[in-house]
Structure 1
Amino acid sequence: MSMLKLITFDLDNTLWPVDEVIRHAEKTCSDWIAANHPDAAAALSAERVRAVRTALLKEKPEYLDNLTALRQDAMSRAFTEHGFQQKQARRIAMDAFKVFHEARNQVSFFPGAREVLEQLADSYTLGALTNGNADLKMIGIADLFAFHHSAETIGKRKPAPDMFAAALSSAGVHAHQAVHVGDHPLEDVHAAREHGMHSVWANLINLPWPVELDQPRHHIHNLHELPDLVPLFDD
């Protein structure tokens, strides 16, 4: 039995709490639009944006595999529906998204996240697997990861097997030589074990495990627990 070689991490709610980050990024984006394009600000009420997003997802469910495109196109459409010319609407949406994206990557790590990553990167290949659009370079930890696959780069979001297959391929390892660490019971833990990988439920925000899924064999409430847990997968 080969030893563990690869550890993959989900990002949002695994290495940092994300809800407050997104709220802050959306507010920063709205404030920027209000300051720079006051005539466009009225187009972006929360209800209107929700309605536009719902309509887009109904037309094209695969938007869920590309949250960047969904956000950009939702803003664009809200502006055009508000009377802006398409080209101008697109330009404002793209500029506004840059503001959103910059704020979206200002994260506060869970306790121990950076130290644990640095410690594990000494002995294992690390990879990032996310359905979101976090940018590891902007966050400042890209140097710790051998690769970063996302729903956008792969074209399919977890729990589809594509991202896990890409991770194994990138690292050149077999499924039993890899462990995936993530917060989502279905998209991370269940999906990884279905793909033959080991898995650790990072339950850092204390959520209940869904009754319809088999209980996780390994779970942590604090990232500091991970370095002691990882050697168990070598046996």
Structure 2
Amino acid sequence: MAKIKLITFDLDNTLWPVDEVIRRAEQQCRTWIEDKHPDAAALMTVAKVRAIRDQLLRDDARYLHNLTALRRDALARGFRDAGYSDAEAIRVAQQAFDVFHEARNQVMLFPGAREILTHLADRYILGALTNGNADLRLIGLADLFAFHHSSETIGRRKPEPDMFLAALKSSGSRADQALHIGDHPLEDVGAALEHGFGAVWANLLSQRWPQELPEHPHRIQTLPELRDLVTLLDA
């Protein structure tokens, strides 16, 4: 690997834990619907909306690359099924999604996240590569990243090469000058290596490495460990 120029980060479960965040955001969205549209809420149960999302994915695989459109369109279909006109269903679904999205970006960073990002941003180009729909501006980290690519903005999710290629173009780097850090063994570590990046497994949630995959030598369990590891990899 050449001298490191670019470091890219996955976001959810790499810089903050996300599962409880999503549950809380869905509950706040549900509460908003119950408060503002109780007639629809009676029909739009959690199970019903989840079933609509599953059906949308079966009908159109492109939703896999755009989770915002999937969630928003599922809400719109739920409102239509509850008797709303198409225009009204779309309008109200956007309002409900906005409630979800605001709560979805109220995250608690893993310990040391901001400090290590600040340290690395002084020395390398930082980029964000995510399959999710986190908003770094709302989270308050946008100033530390030179760019933020997602499956929504690029049109393809990891492990496809598109996001990694976009990162190289945005940074003016070569793949052998790039290091990707993420929690997913396949979508982050495996994909990064396949596309010529170096990779670090961010195992901050103490997950098991899949037995069917070859062991990966570079891993961290806390973000501050990146300070020494990146220095070592860049030596």
Q: Tell me, yes or no, whether TM beats 0.5.
A: yes
Q: How many residues align?
A: 235
Q: CA deviation at 1:78?
A: 1.1
Q: CA deviation at 1:233?
A: 2.2
2-structure distance, mates of 1:179, 1:2 = 10
Greater mean deviation of Cα atoms: 113-122 or 80-89: 80-89
Q: CA deviation at 1:51?
A: 1.2
1:76 aligns with 2:71: no
Question: Could you tell me which amino acid in structure 2 is paired with residue 184 of structure 1?
Answer: H
Answer yes or no: is the 8 Å Cα contact 1:15–1:113 preserved in 2: yes
Structure 2 residue matching 1:196: 3-state secondary structure? coil
Greater mean deviation of Cα atoms: 57-66 or 31-40: 31-40
Runs of 5+ unmatched residues, structure 2: none
1:41-80 matched pairs, under 5 angstroms? 41-80=41-80
Q: CA deviation at 1:54?
A: 1.2
Cα displacement string for residues 213-233 of structure 1 (whole angstroms, at most 9, x for unaligned residues): 221120000001001000222
Q: Aligned residue for 2:212?
A: 212
Q: CA deviation at 1:148?
A: 0.2
Answer yes or no: is the 8 Å Cα contact 1:149–1:167 preserved in 2: yes
1:1-235 matched pairs, under 5 angstroms? 2-235=2-235
2-structure distance, mates of 1:119, 1:147 = 17
Cα displacement string for residues 85-116 of structure 1 (whole angstroms, at most 9, x for unaligned residues): 11111111000001110000000000000101
Answer yes or no: is the 8 Å Cα contact 1:11–1:129 preserved in 2: yes
Detail structure 1 runs of 4+ shifted over 3 Å in the superposition.
none
1-structure distance, mates of 2:32, 2:136 = 24
Structure 1 residue matching 2:129: 3-state secondary structure? strand
Structure 2 residue matching 1:129: 3-state secondary structure? strand
Q: CA deviation at 1:195?
A: 0.5
Percent identity between matched residues is 63
1-structure distance, mates of 2:91, 2:43 = 15
Structure 2 residue matching 1:110: 3-state secondary structure? coil
Cα displacement string for residues 182-211 of structure 1 (whole angstroms, at most 9, x for unaligned residues): 000000000000001000000000110112
Answer yes or no: is the 8 Å Cα contact 1:125–1:146 preserved in 2: yes
Q: CA deviation at 1:126?
A: 0.3
Question: Could you tell me which amino acid in structure 2 is paired with residue 208 of structure 1?
Answer: R
Q: CA deviation at 1:46?
A: 1.4
Structure 2 residue matching 1:193: 3-state secondary structure? helix
Q: CA deviation at 1:42?
A: 1.7
2-structure distance, mates of 1:32, 1:223 = 35
Q: CA deviation at 1:26?
A: 0.5
1-structure distance, mates of 2:19, 2:47 = 19
1-structure distance, mates of 2:20, 2:139 = 16
2-structure distance, mates of 1:195, 1:73 = 33
1-structure distance, mates of 2:42, 2:68 = 22
1-structure distance, mates of 2:2, 2:17 = 34
Answer yes or no: is the 8 Å Cα contact 1:106–1:139 preserved in 2: yes
Question: Could you tell me which amino acid in structure 1 is paired with residue 91 of structure 2?
Answer: R
* TM-score, reference length from structure 1: 0.98
Answer yes or no: is the 8 Å Cα contact 1:198–1:233 preserved in 2: no
* TM-score, reference length from structure 2: 0.98
Structure 2 residue matching 1:123: 3-state secondary structure? coil
2-structure distance, mates of 1:180, 1:45 = 39
CA RMSD in angstroms comes to 0.9
